[in-house]
Structure 1
Amino acid sequence: MSRCASYEDAHDPKYGEPFPVPIVMATADALKGYGTIVTDFENEDVEITPWPVKGWRTLCPGTGTLGGLINDELTYKWVGDQSMVTDDTEDGDFITGRLPKNIPPSDRTHVLVREANYHPDGGQVFFPKDKDPFVALLALPGDDIKMEDFVAFYFDGSFGVQIHADIWHQPIYPIKDESVFLGKQGAVHACVAVDTVDEFGKYLLMPLKPPT
């Protein structure tokens, strides 16, 4: 995951109005193309993409998928007006979003987001350890990503998700003040990122409330 962007000037008027992201309830049908629901974390197999070949010769059978898996426990939390994540396989906390200027921490309705990334080497599983609700920001594959391609999915906490390889995403956003998630993905963990502020001059405005 990328952790290069700063949210210090997220409220600066030079960025204009943030781009509104639609939100839908996460269901098996709604997630088609993006990923699949996960009800059993331990028995969920991570989708691994075979290592790409550059020439006309094919991979030898059984190779190109042997990098193994990473299992981790992720703590997502709100600290003041900032969304943060701690990954037990990496060092320190990092920021994934910030509340708009006019939204208080006591009523988190939306969050400003500027980054997303995808993993070409395989899927990634997010599973709420205590059945806490959350929101996932996703977009379908394609390097020519546009702001209107993003969709927010509201999960009620009764299941997790495995996003497919090449799906644009951010670390998920908790609804509670703090939530713990189990995660797993391919150990190669290749990452391709986009920064909407750098590329489009705007933040995404992502809802945190379920659709009505």
Structure 2
Amino acid sequence: MRLAKGCHLRVSRFSFFCGKKSRDAATAGISSFEFTPENFMNPDLPRGLRIQDVPIVPATDESLEGFGNVVHNPDDFTCEKGNFEIVPWPVSGWRSLDPHTGDEAGTVEGDFDVDWCGDFFYGKNLAIASVNNHYLDGLGAPPAEATHEEPGSGDGEFIYLWMSDYHPDGGQLFWPDRPIPFVVTLGPSVKGDEIEPSDMQAFAVSPGQGVYFHPGTWHNGVYVSKEYCPARFLTRQGRVHARVSCSWANEFQTLLRVPLNFTPTAP
């Protein structure tokens, strides 16, 4: 595990994290769902959730504009090179941070493992020093039909997402340990906490490529079809590892349905 330090970043781009009023809980149906380790692994997902189909496009630097970048080599995005974004620590008053301070935690990296168990798609982030690092990232069928028994009840064409999250403290990179296709589902950072299911967009990453997300970009791991699982990725992210999550199922009574086998041609 390597530790990179000393990234510097313009603060203005992430000003939405500070001083923004939240939605009125009385009118917006704010979720009371708590992303504890137990709930993240085994959420109580109700039946009858609405299905929101998420559009998918090939992942390119052009299509990912505003979300991040395609990665051709994980060493291309590092703090040392000045292009792995770490957000300076927020100040509590009107005085600004002193130069070259507030971002010195840098990045942490390690393995991110994913695999299917019947219809349940799990991820485990081994890069972070938290017990809250094992997730139910999605399902291969609606909750009422999902089973842990192989081969599952889903047809393998879609993954159903019940949540997404963002990291306000830094970017995140995913790089597979072998050239396989995978899918990510992203939401724009400018939406902040006002994100809605219709804001999400899926991107199909070609074999031999990885992906980098800007800080604040809504996401939730990487999605891999069963034929390529179990799969292991290198992940690199801000060492602080602040995570802000939204339960689509709890807040919007919705599941995001994402195409899983949209495979772009290899570069």
> With structure 2 as the length reference, what TM-score do the two structures score?
0.72
Alignment correspondent of 2:167: 119
Greater mean alpha carbon deviation, residues 148-157 or residues 99-108: 99-108
SS at match of 2:194: coil
SS at match of 1:148: helix
Alignment pair present for 1:136 and 2:184? yes
Alignment pair present for 1:62 and 2:124? no
Alignment correspondent of 2:56: 23
SS at match of 1:117: strand
Alignment correspondent of 1:99: 140
Alignment correspondent of 2:214: 164
Q: Is the 8 A contact 1:121 1:189 kept in 2?
A: yes
Report the residue type matching 2:202 in the other structure.
A
Q: Give 1:43 shift.
A: 4.0
Alignment correspondent of 1:44: 77
1:89-147 Cα distance to aligned partner (Å, 9 max, x none): 45574321111257975841111111111011110000111011110010002211111
Q: Give 1:86 shift.
A: 2.3
Q: Is the 8 A contact 1:137 1:150 kept in 2?
A: yes
Q: Give 1:207 shift.
A: 1.1
Q: Is the 8 A contact 1:126 1:162 kept in 2?
A: yes
SS at match of 2:175: strand
Report the residue type matching 2:99 in the other structure.
P
Q: Distance in 2 between matches of 1:183 and 1:33?
A: 20
Gaps of 5+ in 1: none
The structure richer in strand per residue is 1
Alignment correspondent of 1:85: 123
Q: Is the 8 A contact 1:97 1:112 kept in 2?
A: yes
Report the residue type matching 1:181 in the other structure.
F
Q: Give 1:204 shift.
A: 1.1
SS at match of 2:90: coil
Alignment correspondent of 1:32: 65
Q: Distance in 2 between matches of 1:211 and 1:179?
A: 16
Greater mean alpha carbon deviation, residues 53-62 or residues 180-189: 53-62
Q: Give 1:170 shift.
A: 0.3
1:151-173 Cα distance to aligned partner (Å, 9 max, x none): 11111122111100000000111
The CA RMSD over aligned residues, in Å, is: 2.2
Find 2:253's aligned residue among 176, 201, 211.
201
1:17-71 Cα distance to aligned partner (Å, 9 max, x none): 4111111110110000000111111342121111122222111010010113211
Q: Give 1:83 shift.
A: 0.7
Q: Give 1:7 shift.
A: 5.1
Larger radius of gyration: 2
Report the residue type matching 2:232 in the other structure.
V
Q: Give 1:87 shift.
A: 2.3
Q: Is the 8 A contact 2:54 2:201 kept in 1?
A: yes
Q: Cα gap change, 1:62/1:146 in structure 2, threshold over 3 Å: closer, same or farther?
A: same
